Structure 1
Amino acid sequence: MKKTRKLNSPLLVLVILSVLLLIKLGVFRYLVYGEVSWLRLVAIDFPVFMLLPVLLFVVLRRVSPLVALIYNLFVSALLVSIVWYERYFQTVPSYFDLQQGDQAGSVMETVSLLYTPLDFLFFADILVYAALFVLYWNRPLTMKNRKKISVAAFVLVAVSAVTTVVALQKPILDMTLFAKEQGFIQTQLVQAAQQNSASAQMHLVSDEELAELKGNEFVPYTEHDRFGIAKDRHLFVIQIESLQNFAINQSINGQELTPNLNELLGDSLYFDRMFQQIGAGNTSDAEWLLHMSLMTKGLDPTVNYLNGTPLPSLVNMLNERDYYTTTYHADKLEYWNRAELYPSLGFDYAYSSEEIPNEDLIGLWPSDRTMFQFAEGEIQEQIASGKKVYANLMTVTSHTPFEVREQDKYLELPEEYVDTYTGNYLQSIRYADEAVGEFIDFLKAEGIYEESMIVVNGDHSGLHGRPMTKTDNELMAGLLGHTYSLKDRFLLPFIIAAPGLFESEVNSNFGGQVDMMPTIMNLMGIEPQSPMVGHNMLQYENNLLAVRYYLPGGSYITGDHMYLGQNARYPERYYDFDTMERIEPDKETIEQKQENALKILNHSDALLSNFLDEGEEEAETGEES
């Protein structure tokens, strides 16, 4: 009986929980950061995670050992979720990502590709708890050793407070690196504090200064190359899920991956060096970049902070020119807060899963073919009424994990590609291309094609993260003829088809997603009424892009080199952008480009603050600073 009483001691319960928690946090740090660092684990991570159960044992007079088990399971589930998120997105999630249960599909659909046997260690201690519950912990604990537990609670509170205060003094440049050095929970607290800070100082720059920061000389908008040549044409923007630039004009086994888009290039201006710039909002961020030409918040989805102010968007500028503006996406409007985004952008109507038939399902959604066929009927009616039309059409079938039905597989893949992540991606992109081709045929058959400008772009990369195994990377190397690189991952196609205006034209000026809107506006003869961060890619040869979230903080890209800042796993890296070979860092160039990129980001944040509900932010002009 004496032994039983000792094993039923509250202090012993906490000691066992502490040991198990230390082991889990060690495994977590190894999986996410590539190292354990026991000093940081014990001094920074452990006190914060251990604080809640210890405080409960101090406050409550009697407590069931079940509390320890429930908390243990919660921590295990949290840590595994973070591990899987990091494997897929290659960055740790923010506090906002963790509370978006309805938006976890991107990760959960690929769980079978993300987990490893080591992950089960997070739950292996359930067997220990089960044995202790059966033998010793089958009744509530009477709070003994309260003084010792109170002392432990005081120490944990003090250490947690100190580490959090220290973390609050530092800026978050890279989420994963910050979490590695300052603690995951502290990182969430710092992000929340910075998010709600009312003292942010941001600086605006003039259009002339912005052009100079990118290495260009400003040219008035109406003097740009080919200004207004597509004025008053119908505009169709087709945003293809996960379409990367390497797929264009690419073949496998003698078969084109995108035969319909390749054919469209005959009437197109094709920008083949457009870089991904989305943040945590993924596809919704791609919509924001296209329609606003402002950078996203980065660590949080921009769409979740809109204050309802009408936006100076491409959509609203088309509305002012008597276009009927619509958007089509076969999902709920609540997803990524589009119910707030679309009215602010100014769309006359947003077609979603409420209107698009829930038929011909591929994965979780109606097929791209279903969406396009529905849109065709609406577009016919709109044009028949004499309206100029802007339709924003977003595909979804080529969403991860890229699994399409047998009847929708148009490629005969080599045996080694069959049922691989890479092979599935190629099949899904080929299907999306077929659906787009059928829509283009509809425009031609209805006599709409010759009167239109058709923009095709990818929203973000598809082949990335842990689902890309060694085999997948080898398959990509075989397909491309070189190692699959960050350049291959992040370059997205930007195609502008305008029959009679372009003929198989390729433009290799370097740009980002933020540059699509100014380029489209230039061709349609629309002069900006408010500042933008992007520029017309037809006019300017030089560029400087900062990328938040998917590259380490401090990273930037130009047309000739890519600089990646330090993150949790790698030191800083410097690449020749054409060859993607490592080159010797030029410290002077890096420092100057980083300074210029930061000025561009601050300028964008100052403009963005006018449309977000996140505390009062004061924007200052460069002249006043």
Structure 2
Amino acid sequence: MSEDREFKEEEQLSAVLSEMPETVDSDMVRLNDGLFGELAEALPEELSDATEEETIPSCGPLSKKERKELARLNEVKLTLRRMLLQMLLPAGLLMWDELIFHIYVNKGVHDSSVWYIALFAAAFGFLYAIPTGFLRDKAAKRVNTVFVFLVTFWFIIQTFYQKIFNNYLTVSVMGNAGDAKEFWKEGVRSLWSRAPLVVLLLLPIAFWIVLRKLGFRHGTVGRKCFIIPALGVMITMSVAFAFLNGAKARESGRRNVFFKEWQSDRGVRENGILVGLCQDLYRSATYHPDDIGEIVIDAELPEIPTLAAPTPELNKPMTPEPTLAPNHTPTPTPTPVDRSPHTLNIDFATLAANEKNTAIKTIHEYMASTTPVNKNEYTGMFKGYNVVMLTCETFSPLAVSRELTPTLYKLVHSGFYFDNFYTPYWITSTSDGEYTACTGLLPDTQKSGSFSRSSKNKMSCCLGHIFHGMGYATYAFHNHDADYYDRNKSHPNMGYTFIAKYRGLKVTDQFPESDVEMMQLSIPMYINEDHFLAYYMTMSGHMSYNWDNAMAKKHKNEVSKLPYSDDAKCYIAGNIELENAVRYLIDELEKAGKLENTLIVLSGDHYAYGLPEEARNEIAGHKIEEEFELYKNHLVIWNPSIEQQTVHKAACSLDIMPTVLNLLGIEYDSRLYMGTDIFSDTLGLVQFKDNSFITDYVRYNANNGKALWLNGAEDWDSETQKKYIESYKTIVRNKFNISRAMLNNNYYATVDSYLWWMHPEQGIPESMQ
């Protein structure tokens, strides 16, 4: 056996020696002096695939043993060259794409995210080099070519998606790819507007083509040398994880986002596109409804120091407006004011004690520990009224002006004027914004399509079911495709008769569709009902904001003389159609004698992300601050009887549902919603998908840990401020995790039997009769 092995080694050696010169060349001499010191000098020779070597005068014939040793050293040299190239090329490609994208899109040159992104990109490159090191030249060329093109394509797709939606494309969002078919023109425009970035992202393809033309050969590294790229992976990942476990990463929440509560927007911005893809794939593969994240039961609101500024105006006793009953007879608000809690007869503690499902048990415990919201002087102010609720596509303060949209201006500024209201932006744009307003719950920020997914649950606590249980006719209308975002499933599931394009609403086939047409076709369906709830998801304000937009064309003459860019003019034109639709609605209600006993509630779904930043600033007349001001919006709660009063309390679209329930005097359990009645004595809270938040006393940016203190809170001592921030961090995290758990575990089904409106045989509570 040993003789056969020696014979084979001798045969292999003879083959190597036959290709070697009889004399020692300069490379070999230098190799003996220091192999690793000459690798950099040798790399260009490998890249050009040079085969000829300069020789120096012969030092005499070599012995067989010396020639064998030199052959082995030369083989090591070539293997190391190949290995370094195979490590550096993919690592360089990924670092280039990640850093160029980050610097261009996030303008992040000096932030710490650059180091995380570079380390993770290098680690992915080294990891890729391990399996490809075993491939032969032809196979390796094919695999590397596919790799280069796929990586480039993915980054360009992210460029397109991020520009349009100001978010990152995830695997779960790709499930809604068919819903984005109208945006291909906007995609072309977005790529054109980011042409420099696209060109930079295409450079690796050009570089790879040049390497191929120069005759670059991959070669096989072999089994032993995979240790070096593996070591590279270990080193880069160890450094990155060391940073993630540092004090700064813990304090800023970066560590928590990476390891526990992944948020695609912030996570990608801080760690890179590739980490985002891996996190998304991992969480999709390991998803389980029982995994609800960290919940702190009995989380307490922080105590407000007595030295703070006066309580925000809304929380002071206010002179109550007259309560208008359906017969229009003014009735003074009862005295004393009922300030009992908004609760139903649900014993959450007992439910928790008897529950076996871990997630549902935790939700019950959370509900049991939550302090209910109290009734107030506005409770029942519009008892027995009809309600028309609108979620308006891309509605924002930029759409409201006294001259061009006088009806919207009137609704915003007369009656209740909410000057501290926000519409946070989530991950499924319109659908998530609509979900928040319609359910009083936060959307899942780790997985897209919350509204679509809710269609498989019992959504007993939505307005449609509640009003239907009160004997109201309940309708939901949308002037775009009925199955877009699965509204044909989610909206009937909320208790509405759902009517939309291709589902009973015969609007003109154009994009975007007309809100006026929707009103003309829909109002006759309910206007003669004794009591009705009509919900609208409008469409006319939708991007793209150019003259191909049907609503922009329709109102071009009305905006043509405005001193703005075409983008800005087209955005305003689309909202003139909304203006006309709302005016038509009010006129028809008045003609039917229903306006006086109808409450109109109007809000937006998200900020105008489809409008270029320059155009937004142009209309606003100043540069809009992007941390919080960008999401500031109007909330309309209007009836002609309401006298103007300003509401300073911090609030958001999450609060719409419980606020409407309180104004109509409906008996409900405030613990079942993550939002709160804006008119209650509960402190205001606005929370964003990255865990930033606004209260009546602070604006806290979770990305950098900076806090802007308000209303006298700047005078609190540092320890009090720190406790306040930490308390609200917990509250915000709880609300996100509980909302997600309620969605993933069909929570309302567990309390359905306690909801009077779901059981007509129980009758309407006496307090509402």
Corresponding letter in the other structure for 1:185: L
Higher strand proportion, which one?
Answer: 1
Contact 1:477 1:483 in 2 (8 A): yes
Q: Give the counterpart of 1:295 among 442, 453, 468.
A: 442
Corresponding position: 1:396 with 2:518: no
Corresponding position: 1:220 with 2:341: yes
> For the structure 1 residues 606 and 463, does the alpha-carbon distance in structure 2 shift closer, same or farther, using more than 3 Å as the test?
closer
Task: Please list the CA deviations of residues 455-514 of structure 1 after superposition, one character each: whole Å capped at 9, or x if unmatched.
Answer: 11122211588x213x752x2453xxx553355422222112224x32444433332112
Q: Give the counterpart of 1:538 among 667, 679, 682.
A: 679
Q: In the alignment, what sits opposite 2:123?
A: 47
Superposition deviation, residue 54 in structure 1: 4.8
Q: Secondary structure at the match of 2:667?
A: coil
| Normalised TM-score (structure 1) | 0.78
Corresponding letter in the other structure for 1:428: G
Matches within 5 A, 1:206-605: 219-221=340-342, 223-245=375-397, 247-248=399-400, 250-251=401-402, 256-264=403-411, 268-301=415-448, 302-303=450-451, 305-306=453-454, 308-357=457-506, 359=508, 361-362=510-511, 365-376=512-523, 380-384=524-528, 386=529, 388-403=531-546, 404-409=551-556, 411-412=558-559, 414=561, 416-419=563-566, 421-462=567-608, 467-469=612-614, 473=617, 475-478=618-621, 483-486=623-626, 488-499=629-640, 501-529=641-669, 531=671, 532-540=673-681, 542-549=683-690, 553=691, 555-567=692-704, 572=706, 574=708, 587-588=718-719, 590-605=721-736
> For the structure 1 residues 472 and 294, does the alpha-carbon distance in structure 2 shift closer, same or farther, using more than 3 Å as the test?
closer
Corresponding position: 1:35 with 2:187: no
| Normalised TM-score (structure 2) | 0.65
Task: Please list the CA deviations of residues 504-533 of structure 1 after superposition, one character each: whole Å capped at 9, or x if unmatched.
Answer: 444333321121111111121212135223
Q: In the alignment, what sits opposite 1:622?
A: none
Q: Secondary structure at the match of 1:122?
A: helix
> For the structure 1 residues 472 and 266, does the alpha-carbon distance in structure 2 shift closer, same or farther, using more than 3 Å as the test?
closer
Q: Give the counterpart of 1:25 among 98, 115, 125.
A: 98
Q: Tell me, in whole angstroms, the C-alpha distance in 2 between the residues paired with 1:294 and 1:77.
A: 36
Q: Tell me, in whole angstroms, the C-alpha distance in 1 between the residues paired with 2:731 and 2:278.
A: 27
Q: Secondary structure at the match of 2:603?
A: strand
Contact 1:227 1:522 in 2 (8 A): yes
Q: Tell me, in whole angstroms, the C-alpha distance in 2 between the residues paired with 1:261 and 1:20.
A: 51
Corresponding letter in the other structure for 1:28: F
> For the structure 1 residues 512 and 147, does the alpha-carbon distance in structure 2 shift closer, same or farther, using more than 3 Å as the test?
same
Superposition deviation, residue 242 in structure 1: 1.4
Q: Tell me, in whole angstroms, the C-alpha distance in 2 between the residues paired with 1:381 and 1:426.
A: 30
Task: Please list the CA deviations of residues 106-155 of structure 1 after superposition, one character each: whole Å capped at 9, or x if unmatched.
Answer: 97526525514132111134334445556748xxx896333466345534
Q: Tell me, in whole angstroms, the C-alpha distance in 2 between the residues paired with 1:75 and 1:347.
A: 45
Q: Secondary structure at the match of 1:145?
A: coil
Contact 2:420 2:651 in 1 (8 A): yes
Corresponding letter in the other structure for 1:374: L
Superposition deviation, residue 397 in structure 1: 1.8
Q: Tell me, in whole angstroms, the C-alpha distance in 1 between the residues paired with 2:119 and 2:414.
A: 62
Over aligned residues, Cα RMSD in angstroms? Answer: 4.3
Q: In the alignment, what sits opposite 2:202?
A: 123
- Alignment identity in percent? 20
Matches within 5 A, 1:68-217: 68-87=144-163, 92-97=168-173, 100-104=176-180, 109=186, 112-113=189-190, 114-133=193-212, 136=215, 144-147=220-223, 150-151=226-227, 154-155=230-231, 158=234, 170-172=255-257, 178-179=267-268, 182-190=271-279, 192-193=282-283, 196=288, 198=291, 200-204=293-297
Superposition deviation, residue 352 in structure 1: 4.3
* Greater Cα offset, 92-101 or 112-121: 92-101
Corresponding letter in the other structure for 2:589: L
- Higher-Rg structure is 2
Q: Tell me, in whole angstroms, the C-alpha distance in 2 between the residues paired with 1:546 and 1:228.
A: 28
Q: Tell me, in whole angstroms, the C-alpha distance in 2 between the residues paired with 1:577 and 1:70.
A: 58
Contact 1:94 1:188 in 2 (8 A): yes
Q: Tell me, in whole angstroms, the C-alpha distance in 2 between the residues paired with 1:335 and 1:584.
A: 50
Contact 1:281 1:300 in 2 (8 A): no
Superposition deviation, residue 166 in structure 1: 6.8
Q: Tell me, in whole angstroms, the C-alpha distance in 2 between the residues paired with 1:443 and 1:66.
A: 68
* Greater Cα offset, 38-47 or 9-18: 9-18
